[in-house]
């Protein structure tokens, strides 16, 4: 059982996705393994899915892996591995459960000593981009995920930075005030959809449709230009306060970054902006990098 390998697992609402990472070589060692699951299922069914995903990942890799890290949605006591999720229509059957101990009892005997660690998905993204992604050339970064929500994380010297003198509580910016509401409402998919409807009267299901419309619709391009300007206005003081060397952006909205990157950069001055090089693999890699000690 080689100590330099770790399994990283991205825990989503409809599936699990896992991969083996060489935490010394900073490279992927296996193809990803996906396991469908119902996050509203009874606790035994969910735990069985977790254990099955880990077992399939180990089988594909060819040897046991003792280190297992999970990028888990919150609320969650990440230090103790206890789920605090309630009232959000997913994983509610895990409430109050020590997830590590519960999974360990379902693993093969040869993995009875498995060590578990937990982290939220936005922090996992930040760690991954610093570990082996778009931010690895910098000693400190701020990373944000732009999608159905607005996630963030700060990394300094390979570790999450939660110093209250530099960064907001837990490195989370989604809840900070902006334009009479909170940042999550201002920079998630909801804002792009709402703003496009305000300007055109058209209702679209998501940001991707607005991005696709931008090829022929100047209003769609205007929405993304405004998005980039507002995002830069919000992030600039946070970048200054934290003293990071670069900003890394990811999430599904960042896939359309060509539509808002320039106005974003214009508000950030000399701070370099990098686009995620990992995207869907980031949560898995970032979780596994928790074992990079």
Domain coordinates of the chain in residue numbers? 5-123+283-291, 134-276
Contact present, 108 and 150 (Cβ < 8 Å): no
| pLDDT computed for residue 129 by the predictor | 97
| pLDDT computed for residue 2 by the predictor | 59
- With b for 16 or more beta-carbon neighbours within 10 A and e for fewer, the 224-240 pattern comes to bbbbbbbbbebbbebbe
Give helix then strand counts, H and E, for the chain: 9, 15
Contact present, 11 and 69 (Cβ < 8 Å): no
Give strand pairing partners of 113: none
Burial class for 270, CB neighbours closer than 10 Å (0-12, 13-18, 19+):
exposed
Pick the CATH number of 5-123+283-291 from 3.30.70.260, 3.30.420.40, 3.90.470.10, 3.10.20.810: 3.30.420.40
Query: Could you name the CATH architecture of 134-276?
Result: 2-Layer Sandwich (3.30)
Residue the block writes with tokens 């890699």: 285
pLDDT in tens, 82-138: 999 998 888 999 999 999 999 998 998 888 789 999 999 999 999 999 999 999 999
What does the block give as tokens for 115?
């060590």
Dist. CA 150–CA 28, nearest whole Å: 27
What does the block give as tokens for 19?
């991969």
End-to-end CA distance of the chain: 18
Contact present, 36 and 95 (Cβ < 8 Å): no
Dist. CA 163–CA 177, nearest whole Å: 20
Residues of the chain scoring pLDDT < 50: 1
| pLDDT computed for residue 63 by the predictor | 85
pLDDT in tens, 18-41: 999 999 999 899 889 999 999 999
* Count of all residues that appear for the chain in the document: 293
| pLDDT computed for residue 175 by the predictor | 94
Which helix or strand (DSSP H or E) is residue 16 part of?
A: strand 15-22
DSSP string, 52-76: HHHHHHHHHHTS---EEEEE--SSE
Q: Let me know if the fold of 5-123+283-291 is the same as that of 134-276.
A: yes
Dist. CA 34–CA 101, nearest whole Å: 22
């Amino acid at each position: 059982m080689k100590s330099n390998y770790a399994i990283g697992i991205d825990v989503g609402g409809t599936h699990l996705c896992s991969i083996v990472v060489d935490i010394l070589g900073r490279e992927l060692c296996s193809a990803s393994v996906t396991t469908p699951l119902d996050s509203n299922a009874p606790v035994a069914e969910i735990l069985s899915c977790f254990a099955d995903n880990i077992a399939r990942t180990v089988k594909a890799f060819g040897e046991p892996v003792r280190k297992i890290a999970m990028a888990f949605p919150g609320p969650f006591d990440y230090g103790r591995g206890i789920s605090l999720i309630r009232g959000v229509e997913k994983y509610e059957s895990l409430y109050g459960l020590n997830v590590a101990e519960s999974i360990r009892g379902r693993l093969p005997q040869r993995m009875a000593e498995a060590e578990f660690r937990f982290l939220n998905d936005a922090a996992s993204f930040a760690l991954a981009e610093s570990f082996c992604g778009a931010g690895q050339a910098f000693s400190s970064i701020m990373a944000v995920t732009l999608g159905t929500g607005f996630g963030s994380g700060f990394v300094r010297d390979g570790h999450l930075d939660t110093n209250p003198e530099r960064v907001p509580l837990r490195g989370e910016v989604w809840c900070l005030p902006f334009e009479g509401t909170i940042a999550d409402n201002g920079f998630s998919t909801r804002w792009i959809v709402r703003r496009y409807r305000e300007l055109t009267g058209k209702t679209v299901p998501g940001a991707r449709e607005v991005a696709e419309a931008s090829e022929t619709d100047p209003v769609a391009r205007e929405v993304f230009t405004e998005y980039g300007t507002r995002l830069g206005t919000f992030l600039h003081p946070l970048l200054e306060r934290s003293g990071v060397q670069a900003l890394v952006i990811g999430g599904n909205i960042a896939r359309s970054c060509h539509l808002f990157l320039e106005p974003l950069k214009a508000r950030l001055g000399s701070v370099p902006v990098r686009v995620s090089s990992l995207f869907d693999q980031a949560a898995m890699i970032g979780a596994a990098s928790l074992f990079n000690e």
